[in-house]
Amino acid sequence: MTITQTHLVTRSTRLLIIGSGPAGYTAAVYGARAALEPVLIQGLQPGGQLMITTDVENWPGDTHVLGPDLMARMEAQARALGVDLVADMVSCVDLSQRPFRVELDGGQLFLADSLVVATGANARWLGLPDEERLRGKGVSACATCDGFFFRGKEVVVVGGGNSAVEEALFLTNFAAHVTLVHRREALRADKTNQARLFANARVSVVWNAVVERLEATADDMALAAVHLRDLVSGERRRLPAEGLFVAIGHDPATALFRGQLEMDAEGYILTRPDSTATSVPGVFAAGDVRDRHFRQAVTSAGMGCMAALEAERFLAGHVSDAPLGVAA
């Protein structure tokens, strides 16, 4: 991929980090402590997915912390250590040579001797014909963002993992009733979350079913019902609902790196065993862009630490053949 530099403001850095979730901020902290003077591109949603999470109960050292508060603390720590935080979006990346070239929407071009990709993942949708049209009119992928607007209403959550169960439980703080729809006969969520869900009288579960279509109100301004199909019997039913929350997983935000980094069939970046090193020397991947199994803030942070330490070692061994700002 070729980037034209003539109209861009060019800057150089030893370590560039793309993404501002737990992986990105942790990489920045470790990079700063290694005197690499890292630059971190925060992206469209600084703080990542934890910005749309309310209660975090499994972050070490905190019995209870709000997701946005935790991310604000991470950002503040990075700033205190001198990390250069850039509030912009990456539009183009060229990994064909070092230094790597990263162009931002705002007109800056970064030349980076090493790169940490920590761009996270995006919510996956059902792909129904009226789904996009009804987003913001009852259809959402973020209960913590929109749950307040469904006080006293009937809502549906689709999914069977921890995210779906947590969203369903959160919505019981507002909704009159929550129906969890899952395409299988058992949940994938951990046992603690399942116990909480089954103990909550304001939640019911529809097993072996999928949402087949959405129904809008007569004025087409809001969701009125979801239509379900039983995967065992084939029976169809109409379930009145004013809210539909989709929690069926995420897709890694790796479009910028397709054709440049090795990925699996779903777009997750592949790394060496016990490492964050990618198929391109000097490029490291941390967090949800390479983790399809655990997807936890603490594992993302751990990978951010690994990425920064590996970047430091890489730079120490490549000072002579690729000095800062000079293509190898």
Neighbours of 99 (CB within 10 A): 24
Nearby residues of 151 by Cβ (< 8 Å), 6 or more positions away: 174, 175
pLDDT confidence bin for 27, thresholds 50/70/90: very high
Average pLDDT over residues 12-38: 97
Q: Which of 113, 146, 288, 291 is catalytic?
A: 146
Residue 143 confidence class, pLDDT cut points 50, 70, 90: confident
d(CA 70, CA 143) in angstroms, rounded, equals 19
- pLDDT tens-digit series, residues 39-91: 999 998 888 878 766 667 788 999 888 888 999 999 999 999 999 999 999 99
Is 221's pLDDT higher than 60? yes
Helix, strand or coil, per DSSP, at residue 211: strand
Q: Six-digit token pair at 101? A: 């070239």
Predicted confidence band at 5 (pLDDT cuts at 50, 70, 90)?
A: low
Query: What is the structure's pLDDT at 239?
Result: 98
Q: Which of 145, 190, 220, 264 is catalytic?
A: 145
Domain parsing of the chain, residue ranges: 9-122+251-317, 125-246
First-to-last alpha carbon distance for the chain, in angstroms, is 16
Phi and psi for 4 in degrees, rounded to 5?
-85, 125
pLDDT of residue 262: 98
Helix (H) / strand (E) element for 194: namely helix 191-199
Using pLDDT thresholds of 50, 70 and 90, give the confidence band for residue 320.
Answer: very low
Confidence at residue 83, expressed as pLDDT on a 0 to 100 scale = 98
290 and 326 Cβ atoms separated by less than 8 Å: no
Mean pLDDT of 257-261: 98
More confident site: 277 or 327: 277
Instruction: Answer yes or no: same fold for 9-122+251-317 and 125-246.
Output: yes
Nearest-CA neighbor of 209 among 184, 243, 175? 184
Q: How far apart are CA 241 and CA 225, in angstroms?
A: 5
Separation CA 281–CA 191 (nearest Å)? 40
Catalytic one among 84, 88, 130, 142? 142
Averaged pLDDT of the chain? 92
State mean pLDDT over 171-185.
97
Q: What is the pLDDT of residue 6?
A: 52
**What does the alpha-carbon distance between residue 150 and residue 161 come to, in Å, rounded to a whole number?**
22
Residue 4 in this model has a pLDDT that exceeds 60? no
Q: For residue 184, give the DSSP letter.
A: S
How high is the pLDDT of residue 321?
46
pLDDT at 53: 64
Q: Check residues 220 and 229 and name the one with the higher pLDDT.
A: 229
Q: Is the pLDDT of residue 297 over 50?
A: yes
Which helix (H) or strand (E) segment holds residue 113: the answer is: strand 108-117
Q: Is the model's pLDDT at 34 over the cut of 80?
A: yes
Decide if pLDDT at 26 tops 80.
yes
Q: Does 142 participate in catalysis according to the annotation?
A: yes
Domain spanning 125-246, CATH class = alpha beta
- Fold (topology level) of 9-122+251-317: FAD/NAD(P)-binding domain (3.50.50)
pLDDT (mean) for 122-135: 90
**Hey, what are 185's tokens?**
């006969």
pLDDT for residue 38 = 98
